Structure 1
């Protein structure tokens, strides 16, 4: 009987990495760097000060289990913030406002194929870059496929609009609370800081994504046999999902959501808002949305609780990922690993080191597709490595979000991607042929922006 190779659940991978971390504390020499307070008031490691620690404490095996609740206590601010975001977004989703808006926009393009692709990619990217949306797009797949097929495109082009948009939004995120804010918090940066540069580079990535999807779609329009799913019965338009109609209340909800995002940006940039203020804003938004929708308070409470529960798995994942770094810190080998990883980069120009960090983050996404999980797994290492090689922590975060977001278009461990491909009936090998050239283009552009970020001292 044949067995298929299956990637284990992310939580299983995290626990395996915790075991590896514990074993490393037994076999690696303990060591540490001296730290200094830089001009920004942030504690950073100082290059050239690494030294071994004599008679370091050996961690017992049960430390593997005590690390988890300690880690979750350490990151409780982020965990509660994620739960509040989940509850608020669930309230917005229940009103159907976002689905109604996206559905109306998509339908209004008629036979304008380029307009549908350009504006569609932009909409998905913008929602992901600001609200961290992903799974919410799945109900729109059927109508998008039907419209594209009616315009003599194919299923791959339709799903390309959605997936390229969502992943460009994550890779070039400007306010994503599930990836960017978490990575910045780990790096001891103000969540949402560096907004201007991120808002600027969002557009080149968007243009590259649109061009790739449009080039393929135009080729299929000219020659239907050029379709990557030509002759594949499963890749036919599925039955359309009935989307809600746009009403006055839903317009009001969209306006309230847009206003909340604008206030969020203002608060971050002008007043240094942090997790408490951001969480409060999303609670207030949920209440305002419920009032506009005339939702009963019981339904508001149930919906908010359900939305928070949907992200309970993410919250637990954050705790387990933090446990890895905590075990390495307790065993006093975190700096030992940082010193070893930084050694090959010390003599390189900072620009090349930054590109190398982008490569590391891209490879890590193959194994840990969860954005928050990858942040807690890699940023405790990448931030101090950046300190040692002369890279600002904002640039280290940029490497993380590029590697996480863009690779999500192609890694088969991404459940959102595989769910969308399964719904559309697109074999993974055909999707790989479509998306791989775009991955190369986006990562090349990301490398350019990493160099620019280093040269301008992006912080």
Structure 2
């Protein structure tokens, strides 16, 4: 009887799980609350020039402490959501737009068409798919939504006699390196630019250079592994599973409507870039423009009005998790600002960093964001927490705000493909049937290559004072 009782108790013991991102961010919020009782309050003087607010170095002074109370914790969440409303709806509307485009079939039939036309040209096929997924990531079309495409990648690599690691590499990995370069990414660069008071998607030429270098390195590394497998299948890290006859039976055709939807979307995004430069469009304009793109794409696809509405709302629903984390992360800033400890933190960080060369400081920001991403694997959430700290810090230590945004996006993006706390990574590996330890063994050298490229890009960005501001 005792043994049975002990067995029952063991069965009732819950397996430990890594805390969800919301749990971690709320814990950070509670730490910020506790800090208002411990950290001395203080402020810098601020000046506004051409609509951009900057702190005045050397003006920090202590002020009267204003610790947060019990209700302040939950009021900060409400305030954070309200203050982040523009960014939250930007993310939601982006999800709605991309869901309409995805449901139209334009994306996957376009990929099928590329596969069909490049049979027998393995290198060009692998390179083309990586570039397509990287472009999808760079404009925010593919992030968490890349997971279903991993299954397509698995079928493809079977036909090419590669292993499932290659399937993850040409889909998930490609999408996230594009996401990291993010020359038109509303979830990371858009949010970070808004917080740093930079023109939306400014510095795009530099990010395009980063995109070419990072994607180029990814294509080289992936194809190098593919060649090894082609020459000696036994050198596959996980083994090769042969495709069954007609397993790649893609029946859906890449129609004129699909082509028109992709042309319309690409042309619209290019026009938005023009409008940002010419008319100084903001994140609010982008959110509104996403509605227009989605609406027209739905009409081209032949959807009726109800289908367009329901599909758009379905896309919004899929991104509620990622959108609301921005508001919760903003609550941390609300607590620190109301408790007047944000400037104290910036002052404390600026003193040791000011003694370092600016390039070392930029690289330090990159490493700091990489480590932080282990605990908060959400690009928009991390931007909401880190950029309010990094922005004044960059002003004080003499590097541009654009450099601090670059350090953030590299630090956030690269580690999403390595850390097991990344939900999209673990889901993609599960779809492909690849163990994380095998993926880490394959990916880590590429991660080091990306990191080396990031170090060089950050050094160049510091040396040329990448602007604006």
TM (norm. structure 2) is: 0.93
1:406 aligns to what? 414
TM-fit CA distance, 1:58: 2.4
Q: For 2:150 and 2:79, how far apart are their aligned partners in 1?
A: 41
Partner residue of 1:216?
225
Q: Report deviation, 1:218.
A: 1.1
2:25 is aligned with 1:14: yes
- The residue number in structure 2 matching 1:163 is 172
SS at match of 1:321: helix
Local SS of the residue matching 1:369: coil
Specify which of 143, 149, 161 is matched with residue 140 of structure 1.
149
Is 1:267 aligned to residue 275 of structure 2?
Answer: yes
Match of 2:204 in 1: 195
Superposed, 1:366-381 pairs within 5 Å as 366-381=374-389
- For residue 230 of structure 1, report the CA deviation from its aligned partner: 2.6
Q: Which deviations, in whole Å up to 9, do the C-alpha atoms of 1:14-47 show, x marking residues without a partner? A: 1111101100111111111122334x54111222
Distance apart, 1:134 and its partner CA: 2.0
Task: Give, in whole Å, the separation in 2 of the partners of 1:69 and 1:356.
Answer: 33
Tell me the C-alpha RMSD between the 2 structures: 1.8
Partners of 1:365 and 1:404 within 8 A in 2: yes
> Could you tell me which residue of structure 2 aligns to residue 45 of structure 1?
55
Larger deviation, residues 309-318 vs 198-207: 309-318
CA offset digits 1:165-216 (Å, max 9, x no partner): 1111011110011111011101111221111111122101111111111111
User: SS of 1:228's equivalent?
Assistant: coil
Pair 1:342–1:178, CA change in 2 (3 A)? same
Mark the runs of 5 or more structure 1 residues left unpaired by the alignment: none
Counterpart check, 1:279 vs 2:287: yes
Partner Cα separation in structure 2 for residue 243 and residue 372 of structure 1: 37
Distance 1:110 1:379 in 2: 45
- Larger mean Cα displacement after TM superposition, 275-284 or 132-141: 132-141
Q: Deviations over 1:256-293 (max 9, x none)?
A: 11111111111112221112321222111112112211
SS in 2 for 1:191: coil
* Counterpart for residue 175 of structure 1: 184
* Counterpart mapping for 1:4-403 below 5 A: 5-38=16-49, 40-53=50-63, 55-230=64-239, 244-403=252-411
Are the equivalent residues in 1 in contact too, given 2:147–2:172 (CA < 8 A)?
A: no
Residue number in structure 2 paired with 1:429:
437
Deviation for aligned residue 1:252:
1.2
Where do 5+ consecutive residues of structure 2 fail to align?
1-9
TM-score, with structure 1 as normaliser: 0.95
Describe the SS at the equivalent of 1:44. strand
Cα shift at 1:383? 0.9
SS of residue matched to 1:179 = helix
Instruction: Report how many residues are paired.
Output: 454
CA contact (8 A) 1:142 1:237 kept: no
Alpha-carbon contact 1:187-1:380 (below 8 Å) kept: yes
Q: Distance in 2 between matches of 1:359 and 1:84?
A: 31
